[in-house]
Amino acid sequence: MKVRILNQSIRFRVSMDEMDLIVSNGAISSSILFPSGQLTFQVHTHPEKHSIDQQNQNCQLFLNKEEVSSLHGSDQVSISFSQNDLKVVFEKDFKCLTQRDENEDHLYPNPKGSH
């Protein structure tokens, strides 16, 4: 999972494998260890609405289960919503259009072509 923060927006990008896990298990998690402690990002499916919150170095994103399943099996790129002044985007992570030194086999094919 890739997390990008800019001003009052947060974007979660997930690979095909991660999307499979969310759909089948209802959750994924990714953590980074700082010298002062661990920061964790979690994505969960939820039977109702979208929401996001953080507590104790843990950011939790809840997404409507049906919308996640729909995103997984379609050409749709993302789910987005706003909560208070925070904009949240959950999206598929696509392969780059230019060659890179990273293994991108687990990423979604880029709808604009390939390298």
* Alpha carbon distance 42, 36 (integer Å): 20
Task: Report pLDDT digits (tens) over 72-103.
Answer: 988 888 999 999 999 999 998 776 666 666 66
**CA-based nearest residue to 9, from 78, 93, 91, 82:** 82
Domain ranges (residues) in the chain:
2-92
Q: What is the architecture of the domain spanning 2-92?
A: 2-Layer Sandwich (3.30)
Provide the pLDDT for residue 16.
84
Kindly give the confidence (pLDDT) of every residue in the chain, 115 residues in length, as a single tens digit, with 9 standing for 90 and above: 999 999 999 999 998 899 999 999 999 999 999 999 999 999 999 999 899 999 999 999 999 999 999 999 888 889 999 999 999 999 987 766 666 666 666 676 666 775 4
Instruction: Count helices and strands (H / E) in the chain.
Output: 2, 8
**CA-based nearest residue to 85, from 4, 7, 3:** 7
Provide the pLDDT for residue 101.
64
